[in-house]
A and B are shown apart, each in its own frame.
Chain A
């Protein structure tokens, strides 16, 4: 199967993630969309890795998974902290800092 298909799927996943970040207001969903973006990139990496027949891309993909887990952890931690401060769980409400 041509590499183009893999790339197309990965691009679609990445774009979906990006669109999600831009449109969704719930930070939990935003975090999910960030995961989508990273996984889109992962898909591309693994596809390329197969194409070239070396492991470099897969190594990077595994690293990315770890990193993604860390990011989500921190994101969730912050959401909990915000929730405990009785702040709204809505990224659009977080705009005290501007100008």
Chain B
């Protein structure tokens, strides 16, 4: 039947091999949604995360299988090349860490496990799509596929006011950002008549289109839209509020993977499609990067919520990474991708420790929850210490190598002052990273920690009405969430170890990102 049909109707050629990682992710998403409907609580709580890890593992394997492929798929809408594959690796690793962090989390339970993990996987699929996008339609679809599940994920702790607030805030501000970007894409389409990145690039390279007001307005709107997604100041304001309010595993996911996807599309869209307008956007982005570095680092000072502090820090880190985009050289691309990978390890270590402490103490994500950790739980204190040192860029960590690479790219790209800004930013950043380390190693543990998690994480007393999307599971089981949490410890220790490993032996990572720079046709 089916072969007959294809014989009559000449359908488009579909390269399933190239699409396979995406198919694995989306298929996994559907699968966990269905499995999540099964009755047994054990299946929901254990099988669903396992399945979603399995889907991620499959996507990882398929990504590696596609290694060294250089091809366009879906009529040129997506491109599988080294950049896309490397970013896929980072995305999948980040998502896998998130699944582990969310294994016993309240968020996954309140939202019902199937839904939580389905949303997570479809968001990863959106990111993967974004990292490979070759035209503006794919860009927009990827961006929304990334964002919409995230809006929901932020609000998954339905009983907690902050979670709802962060979800709604993210939705409103995020939609404004998307609309801005869309309007920009429309204008670029209007100016060039095509949605293809390559087509846009060739249209802009001919004649005076590169300085046409329509084009430049479009570029300006796109800058704003993408800056919003990668939380570049002054479009960063959603970041601290949303990061603080969202469930911590989701925050970890957002902090790492959204950046990866956003910078992937930054590199593709600006360094390929809009490369001929680089004289216009280069300095603008450089100024934005500087503002971002300053605002992020300054804002993080003196925050008492670790998640909020890390949110501002992620704003600052986005500023560093933007330097690699600004210079639009191969070195810049490599530096950005290298930093993204290092950023994954550094942040995952920190967030894993925060997740662990949220479940162990009643202090939430406040810095006080870490006091005395060095003596009590060195296995948690060391990853956090390493992560803070790496984020500040201390040598022998991956963060140092990444910063070194970025500064090198900025200086050799003619933006020495941007390199100086990175250094100044790192200096300020010690002002908020070191207090965390001091709290862990130099302060006494709080006198009595009551690890009564259920009352902690769902602080509202009394019975609550059934919620939209809420699972019945929570009502029947209000018991403690924690106990031992080996998977969180594993994430913390592995991420911390990787941060040190790639700081001491960075060559494998250098080799990995080497190809990412060459695929874009830059110098």
A residues within 8 Å of B by Cβ? 3, 7, 14, 17-18, 21, 27, 30-31, 34, 37-38, 40-41, 44-45, 47-49, 51-52, 54, 56-57, 59-60, 63-64, 67, 70-71, 74-75, 77-82, 84-85, 87, 91, 94-99
Contacts and interface: CB of A to CB of B under 8 A. Distances in A.
A43 B477 CA distance: 51
A31 B179 CA distance: 12
Interface size class on chain B is 35 or more
List the 5 closest A-B pairs by CB distance, nearest first: A37-B179, A48-B190, A97-B241, A52-B193, A44-B186
A47 B169 CA distance: 32
A56 B194 contact: yes
19 contacts: A7-B190, A17-B179, A34-B175, A40-B179, A41-B179, A44-B187, A48-B193, A59-B195, A60-B185, A67-B178, A70-B148, A71-B171, A75-B171, A78-B164, A78-B171, A84-B467, A85-B464, A85-B467, A97-B166
B185 A81 contact: no
Contacts of A21: 172, 176
Contacts of A18: 176
B468 interface: yes
Contacts of A91: 168, 172
Contacts of B172: 21, 27, 30-31, 34, 75, 91
B168 A84 contact: no
A74 to B, nearest CB: 5
Contacts of A44: 183, 186-187, 190
Given A14-B183, A91-B172, A67 B148 contact: yes
Given A45-B186, A96-B162, A74 B171 contact: yes
Interface in B442-499: 464-465, 467-469
Contacts of B158: 81, 85
Contacts, number: 142
B231 to A, nearest CB: 15
Contact of A67 (B140, B180, B189, B242): B140
A82 to B, nearest CB: 5
Contacts of A27: 168, 172
A34 B179 contact: yes
A13 B186 CA distance: 14
B183 A60 contact: no
A87 to B, nearest CB: 6
Nearest to B163: A81
Given A37-B180, A60-B137, 11 more contacts: A21-B176, A40-B179, A45-B189, A60-B186, A71-B144, A74-B171, A80-B468, A81-B155, A85-B159, A95-B165, A96-B162
B164 A85 contact: yes
A58 B464 CA distance: 46
A41 B176 contact: no
B212 interface: no
